[in-house]
Amino acid sequence: MSKDAGRVAERSRTIDSVKVALLGCGVVGTQVVRLLREQSEELAARVGAPIELAGIAVRRPQRHPDVPAELLTTDAAGLVARPDVDVVVELMGGIEPARDLLLDALKNDRSVVSANKALLAEEGEALATAARESGADLYYEASVAGAIPLLRPIQQSLAGDRIRRVAGIVNGTTNFILSAMESTGAGYADALEEAGRLGYAEADPTADVDGYDAASKAAILASLAFHTRVTASDVHREGIRDVTATDIASAKALGCSVKLLAICEQVDGDAGSTVSARVYPAMIPKAHPLASVSGAFNAVFVEADAAGPLMFYGQGAGGPQTASAVLGDLVAAARNRVIGGRGPRDTAYAHLSVQPMGEVRTRYHVNVDVHDRAGVLAAVASVFAEHGVSIATVKQEGGREAESPDADDAGHGGDAGTDATLVVVTHEAPDAALRATVDALSGLDSVRGVASVLRVEGLGRPVHALGGAQ
Ligand SMILES: NC(=O)c1ccc[n+]([C@@H]2O[C@H](COP(=O)([O-])OP(=O)(O)OC[C@H]3O[C@@H](n4cnc5c(N)ncnc54)[C@H](O)[C@@H]3O)[C@@H](O)[C@H]2O)c1
Ligand SMILES: N[C@@H](CCO)C(=O)O
Ligand code: NA
């Protein structure tokens, strides 16, 4: 009998209840405690043995009057090291001390359940290695898209298929802000304030609005979908701070919505396959199902060779919602303890390198503020052409006809009433070419400035409304 199998067999002989150490009792932890209490009999029936809390590590015990005092401890390391603990549920967040605590737990054959995307995105390899070596389980369904069952379908239900792309809305706070901007015409600052008032945005919203949270989730998704290792720092990241009410209005005019997308793709090239993982706000056609995902909801498209497109939709955040995913993982880990099984290992065998962002091909919507004078359109178009960026459509907004029909038309713009905006939508081009185009445009005499650049993502569907084939 192998060392692993021996350990598993020994566990199944000795377990008459599954003992859980809970680390952290905040928004999610409180709900996990509640559900464990309220559903204890059903959970015992599903697992085959009762799930019992061995202890709860908190910072300030006096802040948890609803929890039996004998369960509370400020000594998280001591709790994890207790010999009767079978599963450690980590809901503290942050990298340390969570990392060391979970590595210790796994090395000592405690299974681990965590909702900590920052930790999983950064230290997934070390944690998976520790789990593999000890034969313990490592589950983290709650870390991406909260309540939505997503990681288990990717890892297990689609294990026989080949996933090509995982793309979607994985941050509820930013989706709430962008939806509010679209529905009310509000600016970014007002929408953020509203998100804070309703409890979606945290006091420091940086992780959400600057895309760090979504980048961690993208790293986890790309690693699982493509059987490789992608960390948060491998993910190209742009947040939503610079999205303006004008961007949203421009998108609307083109039949699009602006969404903060996390996109993970396997890219097959002559030199082999690479993985692209990126987070940025992009226009998507309103006809695309992701465009109608509003408020704090999440939705993720998974495209696999045989299965085709699949969509996962639901609440990606919130105490009870996230606790649902944590409990699902806990039941899986507890069942394995009771019956002597073991969950699937992470299979990071592909060792794919990450495609540089400059090589990623998408379409772009560019607003160029210009002096409305003869030749400006040709000058702007030639800059796109020189950089190999093909224009699909161009439209002029404002300018002499619209704003100042009686103005002297000598063709020397720059004075009030002679400004215009060229709205350019391109065909697919490499990101580096578009960046160089924007830099060069800013140097033209006739250009007042590049007001905005937003990517346009069809996500597998042609963007007919914007002109030209993709
Ligand atoms: N809230 C959500 O909607 C949501 C959704 C998905 C994932 N998550 C993840 O779940 C985890 C928990 O999130 P939350 O919203 O419950 O956070 P929270 O801040 O409400 O709770 C965390 C708790 O852990 C405690 N804690 C932190 N360090 C500790 C330590 N060293 N020892 C003991 N206690 C400690 C804090 O005092 C706090 O009470 C995070 O990793 C978060 O990213 C949260
Ligand atoms: N802050 C995250 C919580 C869920 O991970 C969000 O807004 O989606
Ligand atoms: Na999930």
**pLDDT at position 408:** 40
Pocket perturbation via mutation, ligand 2, pick of 171, 217, 293, 294 by most ligand atoms within 8 A of CB: 171
Query: What's the one-letter identity of residue 222?
Result: A
What is the CATH number assigned to the segment(s) 3-146+320-339? 3.40.50.720
- The C-alpha atoms of residue 140 and residue 63 are separated, in whole angstroms, by 27
> Taken in order 267, 366, 427, 308, is the CA torsion positive or negative?
positive
Task: Please tell me the distance between residue 35's alpha carbon and the centre of ligand 3 in angstroms.
Answer: 17
Does residue 19 carry a catalytic annotation?
A: no
**pLDDT at position 9:** 54
Regarding the beta carbon of 239 and ligand 1, being less than 6 Å apart is answered no
Q: Burial-class residue 440 by CB neighbours within 10 Å (0-12, 13-18, 19+).
A: middle
Looking at 1.10.3720.10, 3.30.360.10, 3.40.50.720, 3.30.70.20, the CATH number of the domain 151-316 comes to 3.30.360.10
Closest C-alpha to 118, from 24, 200, 224, 232: 232
Name residue 236's beta-bridge partners.
278
Regarding the beta carbon of 115 and ligand 1, being less than 6 Å apart is answered yes
Closest C-alpha to 28, from 314, 320, 316: 320
Name residue 276's beta-bridge partners.
265
Regarding the beta carbon of 317 and ligand 2, being less than 6 Å apart is answered yes
Q: Which residue has the tokens 């002989």?
A: 13
**Ligand number with the minimum distance to the CA of 61:** 1
Closest C-alpha to 35, from 53, 17, 19: 53
Name residue 86's beta-bridge partners.
none
Regarding the beta carbon of 26 and ligand 1, being less than 6 Å apart is answered yes
Name residue 284's beta-bridge partners.
257
Q: Which two tokens stand for residue 331?
A: 């039941």
Task: Please tell me the distance between residue 440's alpha carbon and the centre of ligand 3 in angstroms.
Answer: 43
Annotated catalytic residue, options 217, 252, 259, 286: 217
Closest C-alpha to 352, from 424, 265, 419: 265
Q: What does the pLDDT profile of the chain (470 residues) look like in tens digits? A: 555 555 555 555 568 999 999 999 999 999 999 999 999 999 999 999 999 999 999 999 999 999 999 999 999 999 999 999 999 999 999 999 999 999 999 999 999 999 999 999 999 999 999 999 999 999 999 999 999 999 999 999 999 999 999 999 999 999 999 999 999 999 999 999 999 888 787 788 999 999 999 999 999 999 999 999 999 999 999 999 999 999 999 999 889 999 999 999 999 988 899 999 999 999 999 999 999 999 999 999 999 999 999 999 999 999 999 999 999 999 999 999 999 888 888 899 999 999 999 999 999 999 999 998 899 999 999 999 999 999 999 999 887 654 444 434 333 334 444 799 999 999 999 999 999 999 999 999 999 999 999 999 986 655 555 555 44
- The C-alpha atoms of residue 64 and residue 60 are separated, in whole angstroms, by 8
**Predicted model pTM:** 0.93
- The C-alpha atoms of residue 89 and residue 381 are separated, in whole angstroms, by 57
| Interface ipTM | 0.99
The crossing angle, in degrees rounded to 10, of helices 172-184 and 188-197 is 120
Q: Burial-class residue 26 by CB neighbours within 10 Å (0-12, 13-18, 19+).
A: middle
**Ligand number with the minimum distance to the CA of 213:** 2
Distance of CA 241 to the CA centre of its chain: 16
Residue ranges with strand state E in 58-117 = 72-73, 87-90, 111-114
- Mean pLDDT taken over the chain: 91
Task: Please tell me the distance between residue 115's alpha carbon and the centre of ligand 3 in angstroms.
Answer: 9
Where exactly are the structural domains of the chain? 3-146+320-339, 151-316, 357-456
**Ligand number with the minimum distance to the CA of 206:** 2
Regarding the beta carbon of 114 and ligand 1, being less than 6 Å apart is answered no
Q: Is 238 helix (H, G, I), strand (E, B) or coil?
A: coil
DSSP-derived letter for residue 306 is T
Q: Taking a C-beta distance cutoff of 8 angstroms, is the pair 223, 230 a contact?
A: yes
Distance of CA 96 to the CA centre of its chain: 22
Domain 357-456 bears CATH identifier 1.10.260.40: no
Strands 353-354 and 391-398 come out as unpaired
Atom 39, ligand 1: residue with shortest CA distance: 26
Distance of CA 266 to the CA centre of its chain: 17
- The C-alpha atoms of residue 394 and residue 353 are separated, in whole angstroms, by 36
- The C-alpha atoms of residue 244 and residue 240 are separated, in whole angstroms, by 9
